[in-house]
Structure formats: structure tokens, C-alpha cells
Amino acid sequence: MATVAEQWVLVEMVQALYEAPAYHLILEGILILWIIRLLFSKTYKLQERSDLTVKEKEELIEEWQPEPLVPPVSKDHPALNYNIVSGPPSHNIVVNGKECINFASFNFLGLLDNPRLKAAALASLKKYGVGTCGPRGFYGTFDVHLDLEDRLAKFMKTEEAIIYSYGFATIASAIPAYSKRGDIVFVDKAACFAIQKGLQASRSDIKLFNHNDMDDLERLLKEQEIEDQKNPRKARVTRRFIVVEGLYMNTGTICPLPELVKLKYKYKARIFLEESLSFGVLGEHGRGVTEHFGIDIDDIDLISANMENSLASIGGFCCGRSFVIDHQRLSGQGYCFSASLPPLLAAAAIEALNIMEENPGIFAVLKEKCKRIHKALQGISGLKVVGESISPAFHLQLEESTGCRERDVKLLQEIVTQCMDRGIALTQARYLEKEEKYLPPPSIRVVVTVEQTEEELEKAATTISKVAQTVLL
Amino acid sequence: MRTEPGGCCCRRPLRANDCVANGEVRNGYVRSSAATAAAAAGQIHHVTQNGGLYKRPFNEGFEETPMLVAVLTYVGYGVLTLFGYLRDFLRHWRIEKCHHATEREEQKDFVSLYQDFENFYTRNLYMRIRDNWNRPICSVPGARVDIMERQSHDYNWSFKYTGNVIKDVINMGSYNYLGFARNTGPCQEAAAKVLEEYGVGVCSPRQEIGNLDKHEELEKLVASFLGVEAAMTYGMGFATNSMNIPALVSKGCLILSDELNHASLVLGARLSGATIRVFKHNNMQSLEKLLKDAIVYGQPRTRRPWKKILILVEGIYSMEGSIVRLPEVIALKKKYKAYLYLDEAHSIGALGPTGRGVVDYFGLDPEDVDIMMGTFTKSFGASGGYIGGKKELIDYLRTHSHSAVYATSLSPPVVEQIITSMKCIMGQDGTTLGKECIQQLAENVRYFRRRLKNMGFIIYGNEDSPVVPLMLYMPAKIGAFGREMLKRNIGVVVVGFPATPIIESRARFCLSAAHTKEMLDTALKEIDEVGDLLHLKYSRHRSVPLLDRPFDETTYEETED
């Protein structure tokens, strides 16, 4: 039935076509052509092509207003007005005109005003002048540099050492010399700013693990292992590094090196160790965290430290096996592209190493003092001690934050200022708040040195505790 | 404190990526006669437009590489590469002894620390002529220097010191422009005094408790020396760039950087997270085009306008010996409301009638440069760097510079060296010694450059630049020139790829006020002799102004990801 009806409709349609007037057919034909044209024509444009005329461009250029080069800084920015130290920043220090005992400079071994260091530096000054007037490659290598590298390598019992002219640039240059785009770096969340910058410069993939949390690190390493199995070809060329600090600047804690070494061999990741605070502090002979744990130094691929703390000079060094270290002589940016360390600073560092080697007892003394003040500072209401008891640089944080960082900083600054009035020079640990990956809570950093006597340590502890009482309660 | 690559194998990061393109561009003008015609037209246009900006003649030229030399240079590299592969093959099968350090047995199954190809160049090309770099010295890096003699018995893989000293080598390598590298005299005495009082270290960053009265004194002096409102100083020149540029610009900002900028500027720009676009070396047309396009088209993809545009240039380019076309840069910067960061590492002290650097040289106003950066390593014979500018800028840096928060401040005796030498240049020490040094340097520069040109060498750069590159081109001549000169008791710096484009290997002389005419004459005589020996006198005396070297319009851009 249905087919018959359809046929009928079709016939009718053809008939209607015959019967239709000519004008109608012409109109319909035009309409069909029009539709076809629309179908095949290019997509329509919202506007004409967007080429700007010269005049329009000029107007745009005229209109554009850049942001100011720098935003204004408020007059009472906490970091704008620096403390002014008159005279040497040694054990007895004059800060803002007030005589204080120094609990702020990283002069752990008290070598800053050591007459032997000064004499060595002076002799060097008289021989070489001050500057080197060139990078290491171009007549900027002095015999003193070679001596210092030799001495550092011997002291650390490694094959080779390389020196940089700036502490910060050491690890920041070393990391990107090895780790490139596509490589993977596992790094502790509490890592210091220099490490963060080195990682940024390397453009590697960064995996952060919780501070000193080996389970978290292992979790990440395992995840990576699974990832690697999926793409073994890529895994064959992806280098893996673990970057940790020996003694953390931001927390005053020691890294669990034995576990790290185990993980290193299990997951085949190389360890880079930043020892700026632990070099010349930890271990029986001050060789740092490897000696502290009794770890074979060859198990660590690269150790970097600065010479600006214990050695009381300027600059930094990396040490390890020649296979690793030598590469920096052509790839360490801060090494190749920067003028070398002034020889007088290198000479001072050599003398500091001499002193460290001649007085190995000094490290035990330092440890003793750390423990003493650490203990004395426990139980101050409102303040908590953060950091290992053998760490010569540790933090005092507010037990309870006021909830506003700015206010916390002000409170702590008040404590610092009042302590300074009473002859104890302290400083807050300073951070670039917007730049830090994991901004540590505000804190006062207390630095212990071997020059501080028992009475002075006692005095510092009581002063801090008293001041804290008045400020916080 | 900053300089260019230590040796021929150092990477120059930005350029490492586009150095091939770069080489092609540089050779471009060998092949294109049409471009020369266009360039000639451009020159006329250029003079009428910008000639009025200059108060003094600006004579800067770059003679083009002779075609035959270019071809032979490529052949030279080809042969070296072939031999490299051959020797790698022999090493692989243990036919040739391997000298380089190897991985620990325990870590053989780790992912290799280096890519094999990465080291091919080092192993097979650099190692052959390694003795030309890192020559250890054992005296003041003054006009004459003592070099420790060393020998290698394993083809430069390791060096043994013989214990002998090569005495009184004429030093044409150190950046001792004004001759302040001395171990006697007022600077040394003042530094010694401060050393005895303060010691050498500081053991704290500026923001904590490392801000000494000496630093404050230095900063006031630097500000008055530069003629700016305020200044801040840092412990390392390299770090002055790499740790302060990130404080000034960030994501959403645009950096326009000269293609030959120093590694520290490149690193700072990269760390900032801003978009980087590179313009042809000292080429104002290229810069203007980038500026115009940046403002008109805004940021890529989002099309938002840029927050700010920062132009990064150097005063003297340490590998080319060229001087920045500062009057034009300032005119452009004003027209397009960009900010200008001027790195005067090599020019401060060494240029200008009063030694105030490139701004002084062109007779411009220091206020027109937003950020005046420079180092103390070179002309002042010390170490460290500074930034000068408006008070707001310096206040901001005092609170936000990475260096002020995290890095130990300048060593006090070094500070004193800077103070004393700077006062000497300013004439505040009551003598005319500083002024004489500046004049002496300028005279030495003109004399030395003129004589070399007349001898028929191809010399790059500006006639007033104390950095004098002499073109060697062929890789084999790098080593030969360095060695022959040392044999004749003259210490020179030779550089090759990747510090320079691949075919433009060169020797570089740095002049000093401490060079006497006799020393220069001796050096010139020897250079002349070695030049004949090695056939280095390529010049056909057809110098092409830099601006007229054709450039392609493609620019290289990178964003932090």
C-alpha cells in the first residue's frame, strides 16, 4: 500500500512541475543555484583582514603604557633598612651602634678575625694584589687556586675539587651542569634557595618530597620506576638525581644520609649533597655529613659547600670524583663565565683548612656548645626551637602563629631588636616570600660559634627567654 | 667578576641553540650581492635618520670573511671531526689508550651522566689545544705576568708542572684596563689596612647581619661615580645579572636581548620567567622591529599587552670588541617606553673621557639608562658587581634582590680596593693619576688597533674599544697562534666555537693603561711575525659597518616553561 501511495505522490510532483508557470521555475532554479553557491563559497568573515595600517600601529604604540619598572616599596618594609655593622662582623660586633655578642653570623669556627687567616691573606695580597682580572680560562688561574683545590680534595678525601668565586653560585651552577631538560631531580621540600635556582636553570623535571621523609622519596622513586617500565627507551637516557642538603639551612635538621645512599643504589639515582652548613661542622674532622654518618664519600656523587661559613672566607667548592667534577670546568656557568676568586680569599681559605686540620678538637667543642644552648632554650613559652641539637644554626619559631605572617615577623623582629639592646646580636632568617617554593615559617636564626663562652651562651639563652616573655605575653 | 667563556669549549647557552643559524647569517653576506646593495641603501637611510644622535664619530667595522677562508675553515672542522670519529672508534676497540676519567664500577649500570655526543667536541677538538687555556699564573695579573710552565705527556689529558716559571710574559689577556691590578701602591695599602681590621669574610648576607659600614660607604661612592641616585653592590659580577634580572621582570614581561649578550644576562633572563626575544647584534633596525611588533601584537596567544619591555645590552661586547649604539638604543627605548638594562662589565672605567663608561663616552645622561649594571673585576682590579639607578629601583632591589637575601656580601678588603681605585679614577685622591690612566688606555687602544689594521689583520670592533679581536678563522690556527705567542713571551687569549660562531675563531687582546709603548711595540712585532708565519693577514681592507651586515628577519624566542 505504502509504495503505491509514494509512487502516486511522485507522479503528482512531476505533473505539478509541468503545470507550474515558467517564472516559478526560473525563480526556483535561481534559488537552487544560490544555495549551491553558498555551499561552495568560502566561509564568511566577521571582518576584513586584520592588517593594521601604519597609523593604527602608531596609535597602539602611543597608547601602550608599561607598568613601572619596579613597584614602590613602603618605607617601613622590614627588609629595606639594613642593620649597619661598624667594624668587623666577628665575635664582638657593633650593630647599629650597639655592642653585642654575635649570634647571627655563620662564623662557626670563629675564624673570621683569626690572625693566621689575616696574615695568610695579607701575604697573598702583597704578592698578587686584590683582583684576578679574568676568568679561570684566561689567565685567571693562580697557583693559589690550584693549591686550594688540591687541599680541599685532600681534606675531603675525594679525587678532585673545583672552586667557585661565590658561594651561592656553586650549587646553582653545579646542578644545571649535569641535569638537563628531561632529566628528573628528586629534591627535598626544605631545600635552600640556591638549590631551587639551580634546578630552575636546569629545566629538569622536579619531584619534591616531604622534608627528610624517606618513605615519600621512595614512593616517588617507585612511581618513576613504574613510569620507566612503560617507556624503557626514554628511561635509558633519563638521568635521575637526588638533591639534598647535609644540614638544612631552613630547618636546622640533618639529612638521613644512610637511607639516601640505600635508595640511591636501589633506584639508581645520583646524590648531590649541599653541605654549606655542615662542612667544617659535622663529623670528627669537620668533613661534614658523610663523616658524621660514616658514609664512604665516593657514594656521594657530588658534594658542594661554600667557604663563607666555617672557613670564613668567600666562595664555594664542589668535590667528588674527577669523572664528575671535571665536567664543571667547561660546563659550570659560574665557573667558566665569572672572574676567579681573588687570591687573598683563596689563601685565607687554605689557612682556615690548616687550622681545621691542626685542631680537630674544635668540632667537638662546637657540638658541645650547640647542645648547651639548645637545651637552655627549650621551654621558652611562645617560642619553639627548630633544628637538631648539634646544629650550630637553628631556628626559633613562634609556637603559635598569629595567623598573619606579617604580624609574626613583627613580633619576632621585636624580640631581635630587644635582644640587640641587651647585647645579643640575632637576626631573623630572611626569605624572598614570593620566590620560595615552600616558604618556611618566620623564625629567628641562632648561630653558635666556638668563640662563645659558656657565660655568653647562658646569657643569650636567658636574654632571649626574658625578651620573649615580655614581647609574647 | 663576569666574563666570557673560559676556553673554547664553554657553552654560551643562548647562542648554543642558534649558533648554526648564526653562522649562516654571518656568512650570508659572502654569498649575497643583492644584500650588499640593499645594505648600502640602508646605510644612507640610517645616517640621515640617526647621524644626529652621535656627538662623536662612531667607527665600528667588521670585515667580511673571505670566501676561500670560510671554505677552508669548514674543511678544517670537517677533517677534525672525521679524525675524531676515527679516534673514538680506535678508543672503543681499545686500540688507542683512553685517558679520560671513567665512571665507578658500582655505578656502571646507572644512566650515563653525560651524553656521548656532548663530549665529542671536548674530547677530540678542545683536548688537542687545551694548553692554551687555564694557564696558571703566579704573579699580579699586571702588564707583565709570570706563567707556570707545564708539560703534558699524554696529549693534554693531564699536565705536569715543571717547577719553572716563564717570567715577565707580556699580558694581553687580563681585563686590567686601567692597570689597577697591582700589589703595591695606595690601593694595596688601603686594602691591607682594612684586611687587618675586618678580616676577609663576612659570614652573613646583607639583609641579615652582613651589611658593613664599608658596604654603605662603597654604595654611596658608586652612586656618585655613576651619577645616579643610588647604587647597590653584590659579591659576584655574574650573579649581579643572574640574581637581579629575575627581581625586575617576570612572566608577562618581554626581554629584548642582544644575540651576543653574556651568559650571565642570558641566565638571568631565563630565570626571570619572562619571554625572551633576541635581536641581531647591535642592530637597531632589528631591535626597533621587535619593539614595534611587541607593542602592536602583544603577548603571543593571549594577545594581552606586555606588562613591560626590558632591553638588555652590554657596553662593550667582550668577544666582538664592539660598543653598543647607545644613543640609538636610548632613542628607541624612549620612543617605545621600554626599560633599558645596560651591562657595563667591560666598559666601566675603560671608556669615556672620565672613565664613567659608555654613557660618558657618548656624552649621554645616566638618567636615561634605567638600570646601570657593571662589575668591579676589570677596571677596578677587584671583584663583584653593582647596579645603579633611581632610588626606587635600588630600594626595591634592597628588599627583593636574591643576592641581598641569600648570598654573602662582598669581602671588606675587596670593597676597599674598589673604593680606593674608584676615588683615584674620580680624582678624589688628589692626584691626576686616574685621568692619566684613562688617557693612556685610550691612546694605547687607538695605536694598537691602527697598527694591527695596517699590518693586514682582520680586526673586529670599534676603534675605541680596548677589546681587540684578531681573526684567526681556522681551528688549527687557534692553538698555533696561542702557542707561538707564548713562545715569544706574550700571553694572549684565543677563542673558538662555541664562544664564537663556528668559523670566526679569533685571538683577543685586552689593552691596559699599564702597557707601555715599548711593550705594545714588542707585542706588535711578534704578532706581525706570527701573522706571517701562520698566514693570518687576511684583510682586504673592506670593512662593513655592522649595521649593514644583512640580517634575516627571523628572531629566536624562548619562554620559560
DSSP calls for B122-176: HHHTGGGGGGGSS--B-S-SSSEEEEEEEE-SSTTSS-EEEEEEEEEEEE-SS--
- Which residues have C-beta within 8 Å of that of residue B510, sequence separation ≥ 6? B172, B173, B174, B175, B176, B177, B466, B467, B468, B493
User: Does residue A183 sit in the same domain as residue A263?
Assistant: yes
User: Does residue A410 sit in the same domain as residue A341?
Assistant: no
pLDDT of residue B38: 40
User: Does residue A303 sit in the same domain as residue A430?
Assistant: no
C-beta atoms of A104 and B271 within 8 A: no
User: Does residue A350 sit in the same domain as residue A435?
Assistant: no
For every residue of B248-265, DSSP letters joined together read H--TT-EEEEETT--HHH
Task: Give alpha helix (H) positions in B336-432.
Answer: 358-361, 391-400, 402-406, 412-426
- Chain A from 173 to 232: CB within 8 A of any B CB: 178, 192-194, 197, 200-201, 203
Does the global pTM surpass 0.90? no
Measured between CA atoms, the residue of chain B closest to residue A444 is B208
Among B101, B182, B236, select the one facing A322 at the smallest CB separation: B101
Does residue A212 sit within a domain? yes
A450 contacts A372 by C-beta, under 8 angstroms: no
Residue B141 with chain A: CB contacts under 8 Å: 128-129, 131-134, 139-140
Measured between CA atoms, the residue of chain A closest to residue B110 is A268
A 10 A CB-CB count for B484 gives 19
The DSSP letter of residue B5 is: -
Task: State the angle between helix axes of B67-92 and B13-31 in degrees (0 to 180), rounded to the nearest 10.
Answer: 140
B431 contacts B506 by C-beta, under 8 angstroms: no
B489 contacts B169 by C-beta, under 8 angstroms: yes
Using the predicted structure, report yes or no on whether residue A109 has a pLDDT greater than 80.
Answer: yes
Beta strands in A417-465 (DSSP E): 424-425, 427-428, 443-447
What's the gap between Cα B455 and its chain centre? 26
Q: Is the pLDDT higher at A52 or at B19?
A: A52
Residue ranges in chain B modelled with pLDDT below 50: 1-49, 552, 554, 559-561
The DSSP letter of residue A140 is: I
Q: If you count DSSP H runs as helices and E runs as strands, how many of each does chain B have, helices first?
A: 17, 17
Does residue A36 sit within a domain? no
Residue from B3, B17, B200, B411 whose CB has the most chain A CBs within 10 Å, to mutate: B200
Q: Is B119 exposed, middle or buried (0-12, 13-18, 19+ CB in 10 A)?
A: middle
For B3, list phi and psi in degrees, rounded to 5: -160, -170
The C-alpha cell that represents B231 in the structure block: 647604587
Residue whose cell numbers read 689508550: B97
pLDDT of residue B3: 41
Topology (CATH level 3) of domain B131-171+433-534: Aspartate Aminotransferase, domain 1 (3.90.1150)
CA atoms of A277 and A282, how far apart (whole Å): 9
Give the active site residues of B: 318, 346, 378
Residue A95 belongs to a domain with what CATH number?
Answer: 3.90.1150.10
Judged by a CB distance cut-off of 8 A, whether residue A97 touches chain B is: no
Measured between CA atoms, the residue of chain B closest to residue A77 is B399
pLDDT of residue A48: 55
* Range in A22-31, A134-143, A280-289, B445-454 with the lowest mean pLDDT: A22-31
User: Does residue A248 sit in the same domain as residue A122?
Assistant: yes
Q: Report the Cα–Cα distance between both ends of chain B, in Å, rounded.
A: 29
Among B6, B209, B561, select the one facing A85 at the smallest CB separation: B209
Mean pLDDT of A170-189: 95
Task: Tell me the nearest-neighbour CA distance from A185 into chain B, angstroms.
Answer: 13
What tens digit of pLDDT does each residue of A315-328 get? 999 999 999 999 99
Judged by a CB distance cut-off of 8 A, whether residue A55 touches chain B is: no
Among B112, B383, B413, select the one facing A125 at the smallest CB separation: B413
CA atoms of A26 and A291, how far apart (whole Å): 101
Using the predicted structure, report yes or no on whether residue A13 has a pLDDT greater than 50.
Answer: yes
C-beta atoms of B209 and A192 within 8 A: no
Q: If you count DSSP H runs as helices and E runs as strands, how many of each does chain A have, helices first?
A: 18, 15
C-beta atoms of A321 and B104 within 8 A: yes
Q: What are the structural domain ranges in chain B?
A: 131-171+433-534, 186-426
pLDDT of residue B558: 55
Could you give the count of Cα atoms lying within 13 Å of A128 in the half-sphere of its Cβ?
30
* Range in A32-36, A53-57, B288-292, B379-383 with the lowest mean pLDDT: A53-57
A199 contacts A206 by C-beta, under 8 angstroms: yes
Residue from A57, A73, A105, A139 whose CB has the most chain B CBs within 10 Å, to mutate: A139
A242 contacts A207 by C-beta, under 8 angstroms: no
A336 contacts A176 by C-beta, under 8 angstroms: no
Mean pLDDT of A65-78: 90
Judged by a CB distance cut-off of 8 A, whether residue A146 touches chain B is: yes
Mean pLDDT of A85-98: 94
CA atoms of B481 and B504, how far apart (whole Å): 14
CA atoms of A122 and A120, how far apart (whole Å): 5
Judged by a CB distance cut-off of 8 A, whether residue A265 touches chain B is: yes
Among B13, B181, B395, select the one facing A129 at the smallest CB separation: B181
pLDDT of residue A308: 94
Burial B33-59, CB ≥16 within 10 A → b, else e:
eebeeebeebeeebeeebeebeeeebe
Helix (H) or strand (E) segment spanning residue B372:
strand B371-375
| Statement: B186-426 belongs to CATH 3.30.70.1880 | no
Judged by a CB distance cut-off of 8 A, whether residue A264 touches chain B is: no
For A120, list phi and psi in degrees, rounded to 5: -65, -40
Share of chain A above pLDDT 90, in %: 82
Mark which of A341, A358, A375 sits at the end of a domain.
A358
Does residue A18 sit within a domain? no
Does residue A5 sit within a domain? no
Helix (H, G, I), strand (E, B) or coil at B543: strand
Task: Tell me the nearest-neighbour CA distance from B40 into chain A, angstroms.
Answer: 25
CA atoms of B318 and B465, how far apart (whole Å): 9
Among A61, A338, A427, select the one facing B237 at the smallest CB separation: A338
Among B114, B239, B392, select the one facing A70 at the smallest CB separation: B392
C-beta atoms of B237 and A235 within 8 A: no
Q: Which domain holds residue A226?
A: 115-358
Measured between CA atoms, the residue of chain A closest to residue B126 is A330
Does residue A302 sit within a domain? yes
Mark which of A358, A386, A421 sits at the end of a domain.
A358
Measured between CA atoms, the residue of chain A closest to residue B498 is A330
The closest alpha carbon to B207, from A170, A283, A431, belongs to A431
Q: Count up the domains in chain A and report the number.
A: 2
Does residue A256 sit within a domain? yes
A109 contacts A312 by C-beta, under 8 angstroms: yes
Among B122, B134, B370, select the one facing A136 at the smallest CB separation: B134
A425 contacts A104 by C-beta, under 8 angstroms: yes
For every residue of A204-273, DSSP letters joined together read -EEEEE-TT-HHHHHHHHHHHHHHHHH-HHHHTT--EEEEEESB-TTT--B--HHHHHHHHHHHT-EEEE
C-beta atoms of B101 and A323 within 8 A: yes
C-beta atoms of A348 and B135 within 8 A: no
Max CA pair span of chain A: 122
Mean pLDDT of A359-379: 94
Whole-Å CA distances, B200 to A122, A149, A189, A451:
10, 19, 33, 18
Judged by a CB distance cut-off of 8 A, whether residue B237 touches chain A is: yes
User: Does residue A158 sit in the same domain as residue A105?
Assistant: no
C-beta atoms of B208 and A430 within 8 A: yes
pLDDT of residue A220: 96
C-beta atoms of B126 and A69 within 8 A: no
pLDDT of residue B5: 41
User: Does residue A343 sit in the same domain as residue A438?
Assistant: no
pLDDT of residue B236: 94
B306 contacts B298 by C-beta, under 8 angstroms: yes
For every residue of B492-532, DSSP letters joined together read -EEE-TTTS-TT-EEEEEE--TT--HHHHHHHHHHHHHHHH
Does residue A427 sit within a domain? yes
CA atoms of B194 and A259, how far apart (whole Å): 47
Give the number of beta-carbon pairs within 8 Å between A and B.
402
Mark which of A358, A385, A401 sits at the end of a domain.
A358
pLDDT of residue B121: 86
C-beta atoms of B207 and A270 within 8 A: no
Task: Tell me the nearest-neighbour CA distance from B209 into chain A, angstroms.
Answer: 6
Judged by a CB distance cut-off of 8 A, whether residue B129 touches chain A is: no
Which residues on adjacent β-strands are paired with residue A303?
A: A273, A319
Residue A297 with chain B: CB contacts under 8 Å: none
Mean pLDDT of A199-213: 95
Using the predicted structure, report yes or no on whether residue A114 has a pLDDT greater than 60.
Answer: yes
Residue whose cell numbers read 621540600: A189
C-beta atoms of B3 and A134 within 8 A: yes
C-beta atoms of B264 and A82 within 8 A: no
Using the predicted structure, report yes or no on whether residue A1 has a pLDDT greater than 70.
Answer: no
CA atoms of A109 and A127, how far apart (whole Å): 27
User: Does residue A394 sit in the same domain as residue A280?
Assistant: no
Helix (H, G, I), strand (E, B) or coil at A302: strand
pLDDT of residue A74: 87
Does residue A218 sit within a domain? yes
User: Does residue A158 sit in the same domain as residue A292?
Assistant: yes
CA atoms of A126 and B192, how far apart (whole Å): 8
pLDDT of residue A46: 57
Residue from B110, B134, B209, B267 whose CB has the most chain A CBs within 10 Å, to mutate: B209
Q: Is the pLDDT higher at A300 or at B556?
A: A300
Among B198, B337, B381, select the one facing A130 at the smallest CB separation: B381
User: Does residue A371 sit in the same domain as residue A344?
Assistant: no
Whole-Å CA distances, A443 to A150, A421, A470, B245, B404:
38, 19, 17, 28, 18
A331 contacts A148 by C-beta, under 8 angstroms: no
pLDDT of residue B39: 42
For B407, list phi and psi in degrees, rounded to 5: -120, 145
Residue B187 with chain A: CB contacts under 8 Å: 129-130
Measured between CA atoms, the residue of chain B closest to residue A330 is B10
Q: Is B533 exposed, middle or buried (0-12, 13-18, 19+ CB in 10 A)?
A: exposed
Helix (H) or strand (E) segment spanning residue B35:
helix B33-50
Residue whose cell numbers read 678532585: A160
C-beta atoms of A348 and B414 within 8 A: no
C-beta atoms of A339 and B200 within 8 A: no
User: Does residue A334 sit in the same domain as residue A186?
Assistant: yes
Beta strands in A251-372 (DSSP E): 270-274, 302-306, 316-320
User: Does residue A338 sit in the same domain as residue A412?
Assistant: no
Residue whose cell numbers read 635618520: B49
Strands A393-398 and A383-386, by their bridges, are antiparallel
Residue A251 belongs to a domain with what CATH number?
Answer: 3.40.640.10
